[in-house]
Structure 1
Amino acid sequence: MENEVFSFQEFGFHGVEAKFSCSDKMVESMEEENGGKQFNFNGEEDWCPDFGFYKEDSSEEGFLLFKYQQQEDSGSLDDQHFDIVSPPLQTCLEEIQKLGEFTTLIPQVVPRKEKRQPFSLASLELLNNFGNGFKRLHGDSKIEPSNDMPCAKVEEGRKLSTEEVMRLAGANFIQSSSSQTADVSMLSHPFDSSFYGLSNEETKDVALVEFLFSSAEKVGCQQFDRASRLLSQCDDWCSNTGNPVQRVVYYFSKALREKIDRETGRITSKDLGKRLCFDVDEAMMNSDHAILASHEGIPFSQISQFSGIQAIVESMAEARKIHIVDLAIRNGMQWTVLMQALATRYECPLELLKITAVGTTSKHIIERTGKRLASFAETMNIAFSFKVVMVSDMLDLKEHLFGVEADERVAFYSEYFLRSMILEPKRLESIMGVVRSINPCIMVVTEVEANHNSPAFVNRFIEALFFFSAYFDCLETFMKRNDPNRMIIESLFFGEGIRSIVAEEGEGRKIRHVKIDVWRAFFAWFGMVDTELSMSSLDQARLVIKKFDCEKSCTLDMNGKCLIIGWKGTPIHSLSVWKFL
């Protein structure tokens, strides 16, 4: 079974749309084992109440064609390490100077003797955080630096990616900020002689992004009037219906304006109340068509789901009763993939597939998903049971609620769920205590591979800008600009994420992401280790990429035993498989 992989020639999701879319003692014991100390991500001995996630001061034919076949290894994945946190602001300029390999692209930056503002984007270590991107910029991407200003000579006929535009703008911004104070007067025509080979649109886009950098710097310095003037210039050029650079700037500019309104007291408590009522995860459950379009149109979710399901199938090869616990089921489409895989298993026939969905809200939506899954299971002739475990508070989630039987093999599935608990470490700890008490044979985790949890505004801003730039670039590749589903994805989901990351502080900032190294340390505290993804699981990822014909853009890397799914080298998602020691 280990060397077998499901091969699919087409996905045909439209064919299924008609049916499918329209514990406390354990924690105490762990504390005793560790001398009363609890896990701290910062490596300190004493308990940190937020787990070290940065303490804040304030059978439908055509659905999927499965057949087993041997797959040749299409090449090994390179090991890569991704930084977890942004470096200290005080050392950035010095660190930039040490990056000798970048000096041909960016001249040495000499700190001015005048007193600098405390939070300057020019002092953020852009080149250190995103240095690999600059290597690609003048290497793989064939953008060759000159010996003068941070200019770029672009290969004729090649269009810059959204992220490359961001990097060039960031390079020019660092250079210009090292010599004078950036303002509207200076930025009116910043690229008359700095960039060669760029189209008029690309030149304008780079200038637009530099205005965004400058406005964010002024916000960080609490120079709100100057920031507002710069944002007005951004508003003249950006658009939520334009090219991906213009769209990204539109949402970041909008978020910066809200931050200014919050900081100056211009936003009302009524407005804040409306924001607090919005739940991104719940909105995803209510947006079937947009989510389905995203699933069909771009490769990320299919890569993680097919690879993750392959890992579950392999771990359940001899199980006759399979129990899946889904911590955030949403539309549950991934389980139709599992059903089709299990339906072809003849050596060890399946007696029962049980799925338990956990939720705190929207019970009717989860039950509707259960009915669709039950209907699909019937077409596949699979004995199926669906149960909803609703709790008003995740602290109330207990082992006995799942009704796990002795002859069942249990797998936990967490797709973009744990991130929602970062702000509530006690609940996250409680959930993991329950998982440990059940002791599943496997836990599959998919998360956003980004650091959007820094308490420093400028760090979050830069990290988010490059992350969403890559994502918007991907949407530009696979979806038309006037696609209504793309507009929903960008405005409702990405726009809300950008707003939360940029505009909010403290407990009000609900959207928080951390990278796999942070999760690895967290899981280790509960006695979990990541396990190797089989070649079959990796082949699933490669097959999806080939299906989308995006081998040159969608990247697969390994961080330890975890799969990092990226776009043009920028990490987007992580897929990892965990077991208890």
Structure 2
Amino acid sequence: MQQQPPSSHQHHHQEQPQFLGHTGGTGTGAGAGTGFGFGVGGASSGGAGIHHNDGGLRELLVECAAAVTSSDWHRAIRCLVHLSRAASPHGDAVERLAFYFSAALARCLCSLSAPCASEIRSLLRLNNLHFLLEEDQPPPSFEDDLFYYSGGAEEAYLALNQVTPFIRFSHLSANQAILEAVDNERAVHIVDLGIMQGLQWPPLMQALPPTLSSSSSSSSTTLTLRITGTGPSISLLEQTGARLRDFARTLHLDFEFDAVCTTSRHVVASLQQHLELRRGEALVVNCMTQLHKLLPAAHRAALPHALEFMRSLCPRILTVAEKESEHDLSQSFLERFLVTLDHYAAVFDSLEATLPPRSPQRLMIERLVLAKEISGIVLEDGGGDDENLAVVRHQSFGNWRRDMEAAGFQLVPPSDFAIAQAKLLLRLHYPADGYRLLVENQHGSLFLSWHDKPLVALSTWSC
């Protein structure tokens, strides 16, 4: 079974060292090179692409981060004052990036200097920087833009899915791997960790045949699909289940949905208690940007435990999508800050090449999705128990491979059709010059990159 992408003319591609194929040309559009001086990619020649003078914003951010890590909060606040004069949530990609990293540093400063937090907040307020700490209030100068944020994080997530390929690439590639793994199976059970709105599954439902022909007779068998979705909100899970049931009904697909309300930290215990396994079902485990939630030092032991549990289920296939970044426990605060700065420089650059500065979708994505991610990564381990300041960590695919293989999983390379389909998705639906698909020769995983900066890694595993 294959998800058939829209037809298109053949697109030539060139080879990269250690990688096969990349989608996206070397054209002279707005996205042809980052040119930020942030260590990401490079500007194209001949005056094409984005050429920014970062005005010392990177140096100020690094100096501020160094001051935060040494608890020199007077120097950190001086840096934030200078940053506030140039950084802006309405400016170009560099200015927006600096604005949200400034906010992350201000929050981190307060969390690390808890005994002096009230004094730090007073100084921030005195310097008109208190807005950097206000999660739910837009900073001064947003004025009439307030309505942009009325939709909340759920709407921002949907906007991110619509205007960038990060989520759709992961869903499309994972679905194709699932279809190939359960081909000709009569009963399929997908355990989806962190299902959210369930956007991944309607395309897969459409690709599944409602009936299967029997090779030994002229009769046919009805295919059944069951999805067990996990998440922290029972109301969202119920809404997702209702939408998927309605959609399956239009396809005459025999479908069931089971909800398991739990957090990522307690997902194993919840599944051990509530997951129903049935004889004869082909089991699939789907982890789209979920496993990294088990990486922070506070509950690092949870990751091996979770992988061991998934291995015990003997799934036909396990699909994993994660950001391609490295926040190793041995890194210093400053090292992690620089890695994060480079990663999000590419992300903000890609948005700049896709959406205009005043785009409501762009403002919503940056404020409600990316800003929260940045704050979580910049935050030190143990730096706050508030869910809005949850510590976030990521690791590179090489380390994911180490952990997966230690748990007894084997990497399944993507099929030629899956690679071609992912390239076609980028070419047809995301015309901004800069998105590329990289297929790593050595490991057989798929990477979605902005120019030469890998941002998302998709891999599939079997027992």
TM-score bracket for this pair, using the shorter chain length: 0.7 to 0.9
Query: Structure 1 residue 562 and structure 2 residue 453: aligned?
Result: no
Question: SS where residue 240 of structure 2 aligns?
Answer: helix
Partner AA of 1:422 in structure 2:
L
- What is the aligned partner in structure 1 of residue 457 from structure 2? 574
Cα shift at 1:432: 2.2
- What is the aligned partner in structure 2 of residue 379 from structure 1? 250
Instruction: State the TM-score, normalized to the length of structure 1.
Output: 0.63
- What is the aligned partner in structure 1 of residue 278 from structure 2? 405
- What is the aligned partner in structure 2 of residue 439 from structure 1? 314
Query: Structure 1 residue 328 and structure 2 residue 200: aligned?
Result: no
- What is the aligned partner in structure 1 of residue 38 from structure 2? 166
Q: Equivalent residues in 2 for 1:302-381 (5 A)?
A: 302-343=168-209, 347=213, 350-359=222-231, 361-381=232-252
| CA–CA distance in structure 2, aligned partners of residues 414 and 159 of structure 1 | 30
Q: For 1:113-167, what per-residue CA distance to the aligned partner results, in whole angstroms no more than 9, with x for missing partners?
A: xxxxxxxxxxxxxxxxxxxxxxxxxxx989xxxxxxxxxxxx9x98884463323
**Measured at CA, do residues 163 and 363 of structure 1 come closer, stay the same or move farther in structure 2, by a change above 3 Å?**
farther
**Measured at CA, do residues 525 and 214 of structure 1 come closer, stay the same or move farther in structure 2, by a change above 3 Å?**
same
Question: SS where residue 267 of structure 1 aligns?
Answer: helix
Partner AA of 2:117 in structure 1:
I
Q: Equivalent residues in 2 for 1:25-424 (5 A)?
A: 78=16, 80=18, 161-162=33-34, 164-167=36-39, 202-203=52-53, 205-264=54-113, 265-267=115-117, 287-343=153-209, 347=213, 350-359=222-231, 361-391=232-262, 393-399=266-272, 401-423=274-296, 424=299
**Measured at CA, do residues 501 and 289 of structure 1 come closer, stay the same or move farther in structure 2, by a change above 3 Å?**
closer
Q: Could you tell me which runs of 5 or more consecutive residues in structure 2 were left unpaired when the two chains were aligned.
A: 20-24, 41-45, 122-132, 137-148, 215-220, 385-389
**Measured at CA, do residues 76 and 408 of structure 1 come closer, stay the same or move farther in structure 2, by a change above 3 Å?**
farther
Q: For 1:309-356, what per-residue CA distance to the aligned partner results, in whole angstroms no more than 9, with x for missing partners?
A: 011111111101111110110110110010010147765764211001
| CA–CA distance in structure 2, aligned partners of residues 400 and 261 of structure 1 | 39
Question: SS where residue 117 of structure 2 aligns?
Answer: coil
Instruction: Choose from 3, 6, 12 the match for 2:4.
Output: 6
Q: For 1:173-193, what per-residue CA distance to the aligned partner results, in whole angstroms no more than 9, with x for missing partners?
A: xxxxxxxxxxxxxxxxxxxxx
Cα shift at 1:221: 4.2
Question: SS where residue 451 of structure 1 aligns?
Answer: coil
Instruction: Choose from 477, 481, 488 the match for 2:353.
Output: 477
Q: Equivalent residues in 2 for 1:428-507 (5 A)?
A: 428-454=303-329, 455-506=331-382
Partner AA of 2:391 in structure 1:
K
| CA–CA distance in structure 1, aligned partners of residues 212 and 188 of structure 2 | 15
The farther-off stretch of 498-507 and 157-166 is: 157-166
- What is the aligned partner in structure 2 of residue 27 from structure 1? none
Conserved? CA contact 1:79–1:558, under 8 Å: no
| CA–CA distance in structure 2, aligned partners of residues 199 and 562 of structure 1 | 29
Cα shift at 1:503: 3.6
The aligned length equals 409
| CA–CA distance in structure 1, aligned partners of residues 372 and 433 of structure 2 | 30
Q: For 1:481-540, what per-residue CA distance to the aligned partner results, in whole angstroms no more than 9, with x for missing partners?
A: 223332222112211221222243336462111111111111111110111100111112
Question: SS where residue 191 of structure 2 aligns?
Answer: strand
| CA–CA distance in structure 2, aligned partners of residues 202 and 420 of structure 1 | 34
Q: For 1:25-48, what per-residue CA distance to the aligned partner results, in whole angstroms no more than 9, with x for missing partners?
A: xxxxxxxxxxxxxxxxxxxxxxxx
Question: SS where residue 36 of structure 2 aligns?
Answer: helix
Q: Could you tell me which runs of 5 or more consecutive residues in structure 1 were left unpaired when the two chains were aligned.
A: 10-68, 82-139, 143-154, 169-195
**Measured at CA, do residues 400 and 225 of structure 1 come closer, stay the same or move farther in structure 2, by a change above 3 Å?**
closer
**Measured at CA, do residues 200 and 417 of structure 1 come closer, stay the same or move farther in structure 2, by a change above 3 Å?**
closer
Q: For 1:10-66, what per-residue CA distance to the aligned partner results, in whole angstroms no more than 9, with x for missing partners?
A: xxxxxxxxxxxxxxxxxxxxxxxxxxxxxxxxxxxxxxxxxxxxxxxxxxxxxxxxx
Instruction: Choose from 406, 415, 435 the match for 1:525.
Output: 406
**Measured at CA, do residues 161 and 219 of structure 1 come closer, stay the same or move farther in structure 2, by a change above 3 Å?**
farther
| CA–CA distance in structure 2, aligned partners of residues 353 and 395 of structure 1 | 22
Conserved? CA contact 2:87–2:96, under 8 Å: yes
Conserved? CA contact 1:327–1:357, under 8 Å: yes
| CA–CA distance in structure 1, aligned partners of residues 15 and 460 of structure 2 | 17
Partner AA of 1:267 in structure 2:
A
| CA–CA distance in structure 2, aligned partners of residues 380 and 217 of structure 1 | 57
Question: SS where residue 247 of structure 2 aligns?
Answer: helix
Conserved? CA contact 2:3–2:207, under 8 Å: no
The farther-off stretch of 229-238 and 215-224 is: 215-224
Partner AA of 2:52 in structure 1:
E
- What is the aligned partner in structure 1 of residue 139 from structure 2? none
Cα shift at 1:233: 1.5
**Measured at CA, do residues 222 and 414 of structure 1 come closer, stay the same or move farther in structure 2, by a change above 3 Å?**
same
Cα shift at 1:77: 6.3
Bigger-Rg structure (1/2): 1
| CA–CA distance in structure 2, aligned partners of residues 307 and 200 of structure 1 | 30
Partner AA of 1:517 in structure 2:
G
Conserved? CA contact 1:165–1:206, under 8 Å: no
Cα shift at 1:380: 1.0
Query: Structure 1 residue 510 and structure 2 residue 376: aligned?
Result: no
**Measured at CA, do residues 494 and 411 of structure 1 come closer, stay the same or move farther in structure 2, by a change above 3 Å?**
same
**Measured at CA, do residues 352 and 333 of structure 1 come closer, stay the same or move farther in structure 2, by a change above 3 Å?**
same
Partner AA of 1:462 in structure 2:
L
| CA–CA distance in structure 1, aligned partners of residues 349 and 197 of structure 2 | 26
| CA–CA distance in structure 2, aligned partners of residues 340 and 479 of structure 1 | 30
Partner AA of 2:456 in structure 1:
H
Conserved? CA contact 2:410–2:461, under 8 Å: yes
Question: SS where residue 208 of structure 2 aligns?
Answer: helix
Q: For 1:76-115, what per-residue CA distance to the aligned partner results, in whole angstroms no more than 9, with x for missing partners?
A: 865649xxxxxxxxxxxxxxxxxxxxxxxxxxxxxxxxxx
What is the percentage of aligned positions where both structures have the same residue? 28
The farther-off stretch of 217-226 and 242-251 is: 217-226
**Measured at CA, do residues 505 and 430 of structure 1 come closer, stay the same or move farther in structure 2, by a change above 3 Å?**
closer
Instruction: Choose from 419, 422, 444 the match for 1:538.
Output: 419
| More contact order relative to length (CA 8 Å, sep ≥ 6) | 2
Conserved? CA contact 1:444–1:575, under 8 Å: yes
